[in-house]
C-alpha cells in the first residue's frame, strides 16, 4: 500500500505542510533527532546507511511512500536510523506528532491510513532483513556474492535504459559481506566479464538482470 498522492494533494489540511526539495538535497541525516514523518508526493529519495565502511544506498523511496514513521510514537525525539537524500526534485509532506493529532480531529481516516502504512513498512523491513539473513547463511561464496548483488539491486537500484542502476555497489557489498577489497574486486570482475555488470564513473554499476538471474540460478 502507498498513499494516493492525488487524494493527499486535495486535502486542504495538508497544504501548509508540503515542502519542496532540490535534487541531492538532504531531507534528514542518520543519527539526527527526528520528530516528523515525511510522505513523498513526487520524486524519488535515496535512503542511505552510514558506517565505518562508508555510505551506501539501501533503499529507494518513491511517490506515495512514508519515511520517519516513529513520529507516530509521540513528541519524543528519535534518532534517525538512516539519511534521506532527494535523487531528483521532490515534493513531500512533513508532519510532526502535534500536526498529526490536530489533523486526526478533522480527518481520522487519514491517520488510520498512516498507521496502516507504518505497519506495512515495519513488515517489509522485517522481510527484507530475513531475506538477507538467508542469503548470507550459504557456504558457497560466489552464490552468496551473486545473491547479495541481486538483493542490493532489488532494494537500492533504479531502472534505466542500461539496466538496473546501482549507485553504491562496493559500499553495499562491504556493509553486507566481509570480503577483502581484492576479493570483492575479483568477484565483480567476473560479473563484468560475462556482461552481468557494466561499470560507470564514480562507482556506479548497471546490472543486466537477465544475465544475473541466469548466473544466480546456475548450479
> How many domains in the chain?
2
In angstroms, rounded to a whole number, what is the distance separating the alpha carbons of residues 197 and 154? 14
- Residue 4: which pLDDT band, with cuts at 50, 70 and 90? low
* Together in a domain, 151 and 202: yes
Domain final position from 132, 156, 178: 132
* Together in a domain, 83 and 146: no
Specify the DSSP element, H or E, that contains 171. Answer: helix 169-176
Q: What pLDDT, on a 0 to 100 scale, did the predictor assign at position 5?
A: 62
* Together in a domain, 156 and 128: no
Grid cell for residue 101: 493529532
CATH number reported for the structural domain that contains residue 173 in this entry: 1.10.10.10
Cα torsion angle, 172, 175, 177, 180, sign: positive
Q: Is there a contact between 144 and 160 (Cβ–Cβ < 8 Å)?
A: no
Q: What pLDDT, on a 0 to 100 scale, did the predictor assign at position 72?
A: 79
* Together in a domain, 82 and 151: no
* Together in a domain, 74 and 174: no
The top-scoring range by mean pLDDT among 1-5, 12-16, 72-76, 170-174 is: 170-174
Q: What pLDDT, on a 0 to 100 scale, did the predictor assign at position 48?
A: 93
Q: What pLDDT, on a 0 to 100 scale, did the predictor assign at position 40?
A: 92
Q: What pLDDT, on a 0 to 100 scale, did the predictor assign at position 188?
A: 95
* Together in a domain, 176 and 96: no
Q: What is the pLDDT of residues 195-205, one digit of tens each?
A: 999 999 878 99
Burial class of residue 39, CB neighbours in 10 A (0-12, 13-18, 19+): buried
Domain final position from 100, 132, 164: 132
Q: What is the pLDDT of residues 34-60, one digit of tens each?
A: 889 999 999 999 999 987 777 889 889
Q: Is the pLDDT score of 2 beyond 70?
A: no
Q: What pLDDT, on a 0 to 100 scale, did the predictor assign at position 104?
A: 84
- Residue 149: which pLDDT band, with cuts at 50, 70 and 90? very high
Residues of 91-110 as b/e, b for ≥16 C-beta within 10 angstroms? bbbbbebebbeebeeeeeeb
* Together in a domain, 111 and 151: no
Specify the DSSP element, H or E, that contains 31. Answer: none
Domain final position from 87, 107, 132: 132
CATH number reported for the structural domain that contains residue 71 in this entry: 2.60.120.10
- Residue 6: which pLDDT band, with cuts at 50, 70 and 90? low
- Residue 106: which pLDDT band, with cuts at 50, 70 and 90? confident
Domain extent, residue 84, equals 5-132
Amino acid at each position: 500500500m502507498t498513499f494516493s498522492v492525488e487524494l493527499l494533494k486535495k486535502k486542504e489540511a495538508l497544504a501548509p505542510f508540503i515542502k519542496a526539495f532540490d535534487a541531492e538535497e538532504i531531507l534528514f541525516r542518520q543519527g539526527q533527532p527526528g520528530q516528523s514523518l515525511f510522505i513523498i508526493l513526487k520524486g524519488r529519495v535515496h535512503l542511505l546507511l552510514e558506517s565505518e565502511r562508508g555510505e551506501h544506498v539501501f533503499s529507494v523511496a518513491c511517490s506515495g511512500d512514508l519515511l520517519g514513521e516513529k513520529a507516530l510514537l509521540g513528541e519524543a525525539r528519535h534518532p534517525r536510523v538512516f539519511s534521506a537524500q532527494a535523487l531528483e526534485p521532490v515534493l513531500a509532506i512533513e508532519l510532526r506528532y502535534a500536526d498529526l493529532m490536530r489533523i486526526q480531529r478533522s480527518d481520522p481516516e487519514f491517520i488510520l491510513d498512516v498507521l496502516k502504512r507504518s505497519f506495512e513498512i515495519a513488515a517489509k523491513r522485517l522481510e527484507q532483513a530475513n531475506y538477507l539473513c538467508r542469503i548470507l547463511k550459504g557456504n558457497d561464496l560466489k552464490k552468496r556474492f551473486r545473491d547479495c548483488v541481486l538483493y542490493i539491486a532489488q532494494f537500492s537500484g533504479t531502472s534505466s535504459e542500461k539496466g538496473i542502476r546501482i549507485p553504491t555497489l562496493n559500499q553495499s557489498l562491504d556493509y553486507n559481506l566481509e570480503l577483502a577489497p581484492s576479493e570483492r574486486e575479483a568477484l565483480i570482475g567476473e560479473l563484468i566479464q560475462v556482461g552481468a555488470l557494466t561499470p560507470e564513473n564514480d562507482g556506479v554499476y548497471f546490472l543486466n538482470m537477465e544475465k544475473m538471474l541466469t548466473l544466480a540460478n546456475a548450479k
